Amino acid sequence: MSSLKLTSLAIALAVGSSAALLGACGTISDTYNDVMHSSEESLRTPTGYYEHTDAQEYADPLRIPNGLTSPYTDNKLVVPQVQPTNASRALVGANMDVRPPVVPQVSEQGVDIVSDGLNAIVWFRPYSAFAVRTDTDGWNFLNSSLNYLRIPVAQRDTEHYALATGSLSYNYAGEPYDQIAEESGARRYNQTYNIQVGHSAQGQIGYVISLASSSTADSSGDSIDSNLTPMQRANFTIGFGNTLIRALALQAQQAEQVPDNINVMLGRDNNQQEAFLVTAPYNATWSVMSGLLEQYGFEITEYSVSRSLFKVKLTEDDPQFYRNLGIEPFKLDADNYMVRLAISGKNTVLTFYNKDDKPLRTTQVTGLYQGLSQALAKEFRAYKQDPKGYAARFTKE
């Protein structure tokens, strides 16, 4: 495995400036001390010991009584006085952040992430599934992926292949903040990022990601006075890179051929729960499900690309409603449901859950099968005629 690193031109990207775009298109060299810092395949976890929460901030215990001469001290070992700050207090006692570091994802599509100080670098390997050969290719993939994730772009410098994202809320793992994070009471980090496209001397393409600005709030959106430590800043850039390559993977699958005839079969998912197996690529199925749910009696109340999840509310359970659409009734009661998508080879698995996140009963799955399979066949025909137009119609703002 070759070792790669961005040169100072690309590394000097606007650390700490949210308004300034990154510098000119960076050149990448082969000097990384022959160490790739390759992606880890397992997460490190906290030890479970929490004695650190008892630690407290103490004043200097040395006191000289009045009238005595100051004792001799050897200044060689004097520890400089440091004025406590909000950042330093975050490292003491119960405020200490003991969450494990965010680990770079391993991508089967041939995309790798390395940490370089506070920055993260996303690399397209020569064997990657993306066919990214030029800076322009990398730039196009970057913009389409940010659009897919609904991440706003504040500034673009097309000439130098650099951009600055608009402010958006993220969770601790660098993923766009969603309802799941809110329900768990997770902190909300309002952040902007700078992203620069660069290349190696051999022509290999990469992105440099740097955190430009960050403010912290609780799950209700109220501001919290908190400064990020260097480790936290590095965690966010790595986490944002992980989010980006998940979107890149979906973009790569978009190019896969959708069969002329889509089959839907009853089966089981990886958790041995009853599910629907769709003989179509994941990305196409995600787009079709976005349109199908909205047209066939469901209201999409929440969705998460990173978790492959739709939260929906079924507002129509009248059998005649479905017959008027040319399909069999779904035979589900009007209620809240969840739909999860997963990849199984070249196929996609759909698993339906009730509002309590429990898989549907066998009778519900079999009752849903006939109508859902007919609806999927109809919507895939419409998708095949104009994939981009179909996806655009049902893309959530």
Dihedral class, residue 21 (left if φ above 0, else alpha if ψ from -120 to 50, else beta): beta
Identify whether residues 204 and 330 lie together within a single domain. no
**Is 15 contained in some domain?**
yes
Query: Is the same domain home to 249 and 318?
Result: no
pLDDT for 220-271, tens place per residue? 666 665 677 888 888 999 999 999 888 877 766 555 678 888 899 999 988 8
Check which CATH number belongs to the domain holding 219 and give it. 3.30.530.50
239/287 same-domain check: no
> Domain residues for 303?
264-393
Residues 214 and 345 in one domain: no
288 located within any domain: yes
| pLDDT at residue number 178 | 83
Could you read off the pLDDT of 284-299 as tens digits, one per residue?
899 899 999 989 999 9
- Per the structure, how many domains does the chain have? 2
Is there a single domain that holds both residue 194 and residue 167? yes
**Are 223 and 107 found together in one domain?**
yes
Last residue of a domain, one of 206, 233, 254: 254
Q: What is the pLDDT along the chain (397 residues), one digit of tens a residue?
A: 333 333 333 333 333 333 333 334 555 443 333 333 343 444 444 556 667 777 787 777 777 777 776 766 677 877 788 788 776 776 777 767 777 788 887 666 788 888 888 899 998 887 777 778 888 888 988 988 898 888 999 999 989 999 999 999 998 888 888 888 888 888 889 999 999 998 877 778 999 999 999 888 766 666 665 677 888 888 999 999 999 888 877 766 555 678 888 899 999 988 889 999 999 988 889 989 999 998 999 999 988 877 889 999 999 888 999 999 999 999 999 999 999 998 887 789 999 999 999 999 999 999 999 999 999 999 999 888 877 778 777 765 4
3-state secondary structure of 265: strand
User: Does 295 lie in the same domain as 250?
Assistant: no
Instruction: Decide if 43 is inside a domain.
Output: no
* Statement to judge: residues 146 and 171 lie in one domain: yes
Q: What is the CATH number of the domain that holds 316?
A: 3.30.310.170
Helix, coil or strand: residue 53: helix
Whether 326 and 230 share a structural domain:
no
Q: 130 with 16, same domain?
A: yes
Q: What is the pLDDT of residues 101-137, one digit of tens each?
A: 888 876 667 888 888 888 999 988 877 777 788 888 8
Domain assignment present for residue 161? The answer is yes
d(CA 312, CA 305): 14
Do 106 and 235 fall into the same domain? yes
Token pair listed for 111: 């995309």
Does residue 241 form part of some domain? Answer: yes
Same domain, 183 and 318: no
Specify if 377 maps to a domain: yes
Residue 64 C-beta-side C-alpha neighbours within 13 Å: 7
- 66-79: b (≥16 Cβ within 10 Å) or e: eeeeeeeeeeeeee
Bridge-based pairing of strands 26-29 and 188-200 is parallel
Neighbours of 341 (CB within 10 A): 20
